[in-house]
Amino acid sequence: MNLAWLKATAVALSILISPQVQAVSILERAGNNFRTAANNQEYVLNKSNVNASQFGLLRTYNFNAKVETQPLIVEKGAGDDDLVIITTMKNEVIGINARTNATVYSEKLGPEASSADMDLWKHTPTWGISATPIIDPNTDTLYVAAWMLKHANNNHFRDYWVFALNPRTGKRKADPVRIWGQSQEGHGCWFNDADAVYVENNQTKQYVYPKLRAGLALTANHGLVLAFSSNAEKLLGGRKNPHGMVVAYDTRGLLGQSGFSNRPGIFCATSFNGWGAGIWHAGGAPVTEGNKIYVATSNGTSNNGDLDLSESMIKLRFTPSVNGNRPVLQKMDFYKAFMDERTSGSGCLWPDNSSEVSCGRAAVNKAGADWDFGAAGPMLIPGSNLLLQGTKDGLLYSLDKNNLGKHERFKHLLHQPPLVASYYGGNKAENWRRAQYLNLSLPCPPPGHPEHDWFQPCGNPQNNKMHHIHALAFAQRDALGGIVYVWGENANLKTYNYASRDSTYPSFRAEGLDVASGNMASPGGMPGGLMMISSKPSSKNNFPYSVDFNSAILWAIYPRAGDVNKGFAEGQLVAYDATTILPNNKMRRLFRTGSDHHGGLGTMSKMIPPVVANGRVYVMIYRVGNVDHCSVPGNQLKVCSQLKIYGLK
């Protein structure tokens, strides 16, 4: 037999089978514990075949509930096919065959709550599983947190429960555990305080409910991490105050192993008489590294030294259960970005205002304007000390994970000044001016606009609109750095060269062609672009997180028109060449649904990025109104979800 023919056949076979052999699972929010939103094990999709003629919609799957969580992918979890795991706001866990669309299993964990009493914008009829679950590959366990009614037919008392499930069947591996307890750092905060109640129309109700939006995370020493906010972000007083909390379990205790507690360690981000510091992260999970945990908080009280840590980055250490005692969460360090509870006007904007850079952003006599430092989840660049945080200012803060700086404002940033990343790619001096006087980043809606008083005082951002950052992605070049991707609200995708050393300042690289919420008047619409990167691993270095720049694609979902926060918006899925720079610093678009005039995706889900694995792209959208197979309680708006699966035709 001809030797050359054998060699050619072997090469062809390797090309054909390599996507199957070199497949990958996506087991957590943003793909990894660093939250880089990058999959560098994608061998099927590349820059040559992601185009309108070869790539497109393969199939859809409808849900009888709203979905607010990222899909998880288990390689060969459904026999020889990939398993897609979806969780819903009706507390369902559903497994789907990625190739056949068949339902592998559907498990109902418990009764969901009606959202009628806290659905501000009237588009979330039920509340159940709202945080992206996580799969522990060491024990093959799917951890899910479900919000359930405490008593049947009583919607006024609700509990969170943690479930340990078999990801391939949805069946329980141990009894679920109710989340409850007092914080450990001495603040006196209680999780789900059933004694903080009031009576209305002869019905007893809780003042505050904990709310779980951020995805679940795992530490390297058996810790399961859940980061909470609450349904009220204002001063209520004493036991009624809402608090941001971090709750962490020893997974061995959750699995019922003897000698390990199934009670949690609990950290409260504000004091008993403080409030706020909710951990939202726009659905993004905390960063974990070894036994360390990093979370970013939002508005609330922060003037009380290191007791009230709203608008902060907080570093915690998880110590697992020992001799049956509950685990411990210990505060190690923090960074306080600004103090929203100061009032604006003559009492705030003094000549040396740069020391309290954003104290003028709260309305007069109003505590805690909604300018969340924790608007996005944090991201840690692998192999470095560089911890990045995107905020509602459109700024990207670069922190040293080993020295967050506490009250030092900009002094301990690894890159000074912070980068005005989502709407401005200018020079260092202009970035410093805008960062030092943050009111320049706030829009000025016209008098009579419902948001006019909220944005006082204000400045002159691009297009006079908000540019909140709700997501980041990172393409690792090598151990020294790579490319950061930021797609803020009411702007287009921006990319920056980013070094993991503080001696090299980030530089603007290129921008995309599409504008998020392009039809909205000031102050604009939410949430900007939600992103993920796919590529093969780098062939130029052995750093495990490096991507192959020749095959790297930036995938994003963004609102082509409308606001996804207060209403619904027409979405568009786009794929960009992640690394090529065209003339005038533009990026090369490879694929998009729809056109310049139509998004083509459907109604965009609020905070769910695309997921790319093994030649398929998984996208969640909403189905709104009079749609089939969508039931909601009472007379609430019918809102359910649909999974769209894209791939090579």
Q: Are 188 and 182 within 8 A, CB to CB?
A: yes
Tokens read off for 448: 């009579």
What was the pLDDT predicted at 303? 65
299 domain residue, yes or no: yes
Residues 6 or more apart whose CB falls under 8 angstroms from that of 425 comprise: 494, 496, 508, 511, 585
312 domain residue, yes or no: yes
- Please give the residue range of the domain that contains residue 40: 28-363+373-648
Tokens read off for 528: 């900007």
pLDDT band at 343 (very low <50, low <70, confident <90, very high): very low
Question: Length of the chain, please?
Answer: 649
pLDDT band at 20 (very low <50, low <70, confident <90, very high): very low
Q: Are 145 and 169 within 8 A, CB to CB?
A: no
Q: Does 561 or 410 have the greater pLDDT score? A: 561
17 domain residue, yes or no: no
pLDDT at 346 over 60: no
Whole-model pTM over 0.85: yes
The pLDDT mean for the chain works out to 89
Handedness of CA 67, 73, 77, 81 (dihedral sign): positive
* Tens of pLDDT, residues 192-208: 888 889 998 898 988 89
Q: Are 637 and 122 within 8 A, CB to CB?
A: yes
pLDDT at 415 over 90: no
CB-based burial label for 49 (10 Å; 0-12, 13-18, 19+): middle
Question: Can you spell out the DSSP letters for 453-470?
Answer: GGG-S----GGGS-----
Which three-class secondary structure state does DSSP give residue 519? Answer: coil
628 domain residue, yes or no: yes
Q: Are 436 and 445 within 8 A, CB to CB?
A: no
Q: Are 510 and 475 within 8 A, CB to CB?
A: no
- How many Cβ atoms from other residues are within 10 Å of residue 108's Cβ? 15
pLDDT band at 260 (very low <50, low <70, confident <90, very high): very high
User: Of 526, 404, 430, 415, nearest to 481 (Cα)?
Assistant: 415
Question: Can you spell out the DSSP letters for 557-575?
Answer: EEEEEE-TTTS-EEEEEEE
Torsion, Cα 118 282 319 404, to 10 degrees, reads -120
CB-based burial label for 43 (10 Å; 0-12, 13-18, 19+): buried
Instruction: Report how far residue 628's alpha carbon sits from residue 604's, in angstroms, rounded to the nearest whole number.
Output: 18
What proportion of the chain, given as a percentage, has pLDDT over 90?
Answer: 68
Q: Say which amino acid occupies 109.
A: L
What proportion of the chain, given as a percentage, has pLDDT over 70?
Answer: 91
Instruction: Report how far residue 48's alpha carbon sits from residue 41's, in angstroms, rounded to the nearest whole number.
Output: 17
Domains of the chain: total:
1
pLDDT at 404 over 80: yes
16 domain residue, yes or no: no
Instruction: Report how far residue 255's alpha carbon sits from residue 163's, in angstroms, rounded to the nearest whole number.
Output: 9
What was the pLDDT predicted at 355? 36
pLDDT at 447 over 70: yes
Torsion, Cα 517 518 519 525, to 10 degrees, reads 30
Query: What is the phi/psi pair of residue 133, to 5°?
Result: -70, 180
20 domain residue, yes or no: no
What was the pLDDT predicted at 375? 96
Cα 63–Cα 69–Cα 75 angle in degrees, nearest 5: 85
User: Of 187, 192, 160, nearest to 176 (Cα)?
Assistant: 160
pLDDT at 470 over 70: yes
What was the pLDDT predicted at 15? 35
What was the pLDDT predicted at 358? 43
Q: Say which amino acid occupies 505.
A: Y
**Residue 256 region by backbone torsions, left for phi larger than 0, else alpha for psi between -120 and 50, else beta:** left
What was the pLDDT predicted at 24? 97
* Tens of pLDDT, residues 314-324: 999 999 999 99
pLDDT band at 339 (very low <50, low <70, confident <90, very high): low
Query: What DSSP character marks residue 385?
Result: S
**Residue 481 region by backbone torsions, left for phi larger than 0, else alpha for psi between -120 and 50, else beta:** left
User: Any idea what the CATH number is for the domain that residue 358 is in?
Assistant: 2.130.10.10
Query: Secondary structure of the chain: what % helix, strand, coil (to 5)?
Result: 10, 35, 55
Question: Can you spell out the DSSP letters for 197-239?
Answer: EEEETTEEEES--EE--SPPEE-TTSEEEEEEEES--S---GG
